[in-house]
């Protein structure tokens, strides 16, 4: 997802681009290893690109304090290293073959090497954190716990009597929202803003993080220009919010229920399910849930100082809510 800054924020956009360039340079420096295999596998996803959404949020949050404080770029690198590490592990668990348009690490080198490559990135992020102080380490520890719990809950699924939609949203909060919340918290902490403002920015990060993943869920079904084949989650049998809402709807016909209950490896069944789901009211319901989270994020911004970064964060909410790629 590309955040399009309005023309009146051109100066801030230029500053963000400079900051992201510094993050990118430091990121590539931090993943270097004297052991060739670790060096190659660690660079694999970094060189595949990515949105750098989390580092951007660190930089934007830092604008509410001293945006030139020395801990900001390292903190942005920490969150991106952590994010990349989780991708290596996720691809092993999901048995993915492609990541960011390139062959996944597990597909190229095997599960063990992919897992250890993720661990290597976690180690490098921990080394950076050691220089940022005990509070930064505590935030990372709490975030990492949530990432693990979220993955466990997703793997096990909802327990008896638990609402699948509620379960799904709580998993998203842990697996996606927690690290984006940490990104905003780090930017605020490192720039020296008040505790109240730091907490507000962190809450904003979690809300926009959940919304970000919900928009991914919708794009996977709706979009034909998102850079990946539509219905990837359907093909793999992953039950995202639109699927869960369709299954919870008593009016959903038995044929669509049958299709949504399994991985859709057959092309004709996959196309049938995709067409039926696109026409189902579950899509508008899921979009309403997405809007609830972006509205919550906007509300959290209300008490923030009126600076260009606040306007940029509002634009970010709009971008997440209305993304088409």
Q: Is the pLDDT of residue 324 over 80?
A: no
pLDDT band for 3, please (50, 70, 90 cuts): low
The domain locations on the chain are: 11-313
Write the DSSP symbol of residue 7.
G
Question: Residue 103: what are its φ and ψ, rounded to 5°?
Answer: -60, 135
Give the pLDDT confidence score for residue 257 in this predicted structure.
96
The answer to whether 205 and 185 are in contact (CB under 8 A) is yes
Query: Residue 98: pLDDT band by 50, 70, 90 thresholds?
Result: confident
For the beta carbon of residue 128, count every other beta carbon within 10 angstroms.
Answer: 18
Q: What average pLDDT does range 203-228 have in this prediction?
A: 87
The structure tokens 């949530």 sit at 146
pLDDT of residue 105: 81
Least confident of 85-94, 201-210, 242-251, 279-288: 85-94
Provide the pLDDT for residue 286.
97
pLDDT for 4-24, tens place per residue?
A: 688 889 999 999 999 999 999
Convert the pLDDT of each residue in 219-248 to its tens digit. Answer: 999 876 544 578 888 988 899 999 999 999
Cα–chain center distance at 227: 17
Please give the distance of CA 300 from its chain centroid, rounded to a whole number: 19
Average pLDDT over residues 87-115: 80
User: Homologous superfamily of 11-313 in CATH?
Assistant: Farnesyl Diphosphate Synthase (1.10.600.10)
Q: What is the average pLDDT score of the chain?
A: 92
pLDDT at res. 226: 47
- Output the CA–CA distances (angstroms, integers) from residue 72 to 79, 102, 136, 282, 302, in the order listed: 11, 30, 11, 41, 24
Residue spans of beta strands (DSSP E) within 165-239 = none
Residues constituting the chain: 325
Measured over the CA atoms of residue 272, residue 277, residue 278 and residue 279, the dihedral's sign is positive
**pLDDT tier at 210 (50, 70, 90 boundaries)?**
very high
pTM (whole model) above 0.85: yes
* pLDDT bracket for residue 104 (50, 70, 90): confident
Structure confidence at residue 151 (pLDDT): 93
DSSP 97: S
């Amino acid at each position: 997802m590309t955040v399009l800054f309005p023309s009146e924020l051109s100066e801030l956009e230029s500053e963000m681009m400079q900051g992201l360039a510094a993050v990118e340079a430091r990121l590539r420096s931090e993943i270097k290893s004297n052991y060739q295999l670790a060096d190659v596998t660690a660079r694999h996803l970094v060189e595949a690109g990515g949105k750098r959404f989390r580092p951007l949020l660190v930089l934007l949050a830092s604008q509410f304090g001293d945006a030139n404080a020395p801990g900001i770029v390292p903190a942005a690198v920490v969150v991106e290293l952590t994010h990349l590490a989780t991708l290596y592990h996720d691809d092993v668990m999901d048995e993915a073959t492609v990541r960011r348009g390139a062959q996944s690490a597990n597909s190229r080198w095997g599960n063990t090497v992919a897992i250890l490559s993720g661990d290597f990135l976690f180690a490098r992020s921990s080394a950076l954190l050691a220089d940022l102080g005990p509070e930064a380490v505590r935030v990372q520890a709490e975030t990492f716990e949530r990432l693990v719990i979220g993955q466990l809950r997703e793997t096990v699924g909802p327990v008896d009597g638990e609402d699948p939609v509620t379960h799904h949203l709580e998993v998203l909060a842990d697996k996606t929202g927690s690290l984006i919340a940490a990104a905003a918290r780090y930017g605020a902490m490192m720039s020296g803003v008040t505790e109240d403002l730091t907490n507000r920015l962190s809450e904003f990060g979690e809300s926009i993080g959940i919304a970000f993943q919900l928009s991914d869920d919708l794009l996977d079904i709706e979009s034909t220009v998102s850079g990946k084949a539509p219905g990837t989650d359907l093909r793999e049998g992953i039950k995202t919010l639109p699927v869960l809402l369709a299954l919870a709807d008593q009016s959903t016909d038995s044929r669509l229920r049958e299709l949504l209950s399994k991985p859709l490896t057959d092309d004709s069944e996959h196309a049938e399910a995709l067409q039926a789901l696109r026409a189902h009211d579950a899509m508008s319901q899921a979009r309403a849930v997405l809007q609830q989270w972006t509205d919550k994020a906007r509300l959290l911004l209300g008490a923030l100082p009126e600076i260009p970064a606040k306007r940029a964060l509002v634009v970010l909410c709009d971008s997440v809510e209305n993304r088409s790629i």
